[in-house]
Structure 1
Amino acid sequence: MAGTVITVAQQKGGAGKTTLAVNLAVALLKRGASVALLDTDPQGSLGRWFMTRRETLGEAGLEFSTSSAWGVSYEVEKLKKLVDVVIIDTPPKVDSDLRPALREADMVLVPISASLVDLWATEGVLDLARREGKLPKLVLNRVKRGTRLDAEVRTAAEQLEGELIAPVLAHRVVYAETLGQGLGVVEAVRRGPAHDEVEALLDVLFARS
């Protein structure tokens, strides 16, 4: 795990990039890993979460940095010397600015919110990742299990040039609530389905037996 770089990318805004990034980061912390978050999105949602976390807990417990698209390589080089895992949150667009974050990644995660519009937007990310020699892992987000749309999106996602991850993140209020508190769902007072979803995702990404 040492020095692993995870890039979270998606062309469609609102797909859950920041939610995925922070929940993976917090879950990794809970497992004893050291983590850094790198925000390359000018909207700064990840930075606001980090500052809220400091206000809530007093100490964030992880490293945080920001970067322009073309400063990614420099920041990643520094952060990899400090932590086990670097997680990069990227802007909701697909152009040459995304390439440095993809190039640095050991693992590319593409969250797909449960809609066909999000699915269509994914193709641009996958194409750019392929040009950088990366095979992204697709994570279904805001899933409403048992619905016709869920089945349609899942079937269509299986046809994309990426690895569809079995664990999904369901449509749950707790993800938004904890994000607004500067926390991850695994830090919620009571363990619940969202906690188990994030842990299952982490198990698959890092192949814990």
Structure 2
Amino acid sequence: MVAIAVQKGGTGKTTLAASLAVAATQAGERVTVFDSDPQGSLAAWGKLRTQPEPAVDLLRPWEFAQFQPILDQQAEQARTLAIIDTPGASIGGIAAILRLADLVLIPIRPSRLDLMAALPTIELLAGQGMGERLALVLNQCPPPPSPRTGLYARQLAGLGMMAEPAILQRVDHQDAIALGLGVTEHAPGGYAASEIRSLWSWIDQRIAPR
């Protein structure tokens, strides 16, 4: 199970969750992507889709503490991967879910404010013994040439494991979400799709075997 979490809105969690779920599905996984954010953006994306996979499910607050039985049920249904989109607020309420994750992906935009906003999430999860299951991903990076991406990559490297590659800000991401698609469906030959496939491959290598 992969969770995407950070105590800050606007970092692109939902867009990453949607496109990673599609990329993983295209790679042969049977994916259920769960929306635990009260805003329900990922669930709304799911309603736009015409393809049955990945499955999209809304996770209600009273289900947070009972997530292990939900994962068990997913396994019985031959689902091979769960991806969780989490609220852009305090993660205290979903701590029980995050402790079950094989990997918690923390998206951070390349700015000092975003870095500082992500520190409480990193410190909280690392303090719960999850340091080896955290990965930081630079997201919504300005297109090259931009010295900021390399600068923040070096700073983040000291905080934990860095996911690869960084994800650049590209219009294909926004267009895909608006259409109920993953970016690898919307523009499969584009740079954005290539970056998402590479990120999924990086994640897959770190959570296998499942």
**Which residue, 3, 9, 23 being the options, matches 2:19?**
23
Deviation at 1:69, TM superposition (A): 4.0
In 1, distance between residues paired with 2:164 and 2:13? 18
- Residue 177 of structure 2: aligned partner: 179
Deviation at 1:79, TM superposition (A): 2.4
Distance 1:70-1:138 versus aligned 2 partners, 3 A rule: farther
Deviation digits for residues 147-177 of structure 1 (CA, Å, limit 9, x no counterpart) = 23223322221121x2111311111000000
Flag as ranges the 4+ runs of structure 1 deviating above 6 A.
none
Deviation at 1:133, TM superposition (A): 2.1
Contact kept, 8 Å, 1:70 with 1:97, in 2: the verdict is no
**Which residue, 186, 194, 197 being the options, matches 1:188?**
186
- Residue 104 of structure 1: aligned partner: 100
Is 1:52 aligned to 2:51, yes or no? Answer: no
Contact kept, 8 Å, 2:7 with 2:91, in 1: the verdict is no
- Residue 207 of structure 1: aligned partner: 205
- Residue 148 of structure 1: aligned partner: 147
Report the identity percentage: 33
SS of 2:140's equivalent in the other structure is strand
**Which residue, 53, 67, 70 being the options, matches 1:75?**
70
Deviation at 1:179, TM superposition (A): 0.7
In 2, distance between residues paired with 1:102 and 1:131? 13
Aligned pairs, number: 199
In 2, distance between residues paired with 1:90 and 1:196? 25
User: Aligned AA for 1:110?
Assistant: I
TM-score by length of 2: 0.88
Distance 1:47-1:120 versus aligned 2 partners, 3 A rule: same
Distance 1:66-1:76 versus aligned 2 partners, 3 A rule: farther
In 2, distance between residues paired with 1:109 and 1:90? 11
**Which residue, 54, 63, 68 being the options, matches 1:62?**
54
Contact kept, 8 Å, 1:69 with 1:100, in 2: the verdict is no
In 1, distance between residues paired with 2:180 and 2:152? 30
Deviation at 1:75, TM superposition (A): 2.9
- Residue 161 of structure 2: aligned partner: 163
Deviation digits for residues 9-53 of structure 1 (CA, Å, limit 9, x no counterpart) = 011101010111111100011112100011110000000000011
Contact kept, 8 Å, 2:187 with 2:193, in 1: the verdict is no
Unaligned residue ranges in structure 2 (runs of 5+): none
Deviation at 1:120, TM superposition (A): 0.9
Range that drifts further, 97-106 or 148-157: 148-157
SS of 2:119's equivalent in the other structure is helix
Question: What is the root-mean-square deviation of aligned Cα atoms in Å?
Answer: 1.7
Unaligned residue ranges in structure 1 (runs of 5+): none
In 2, distance between residues paired with 1:78 and 1:131? 30
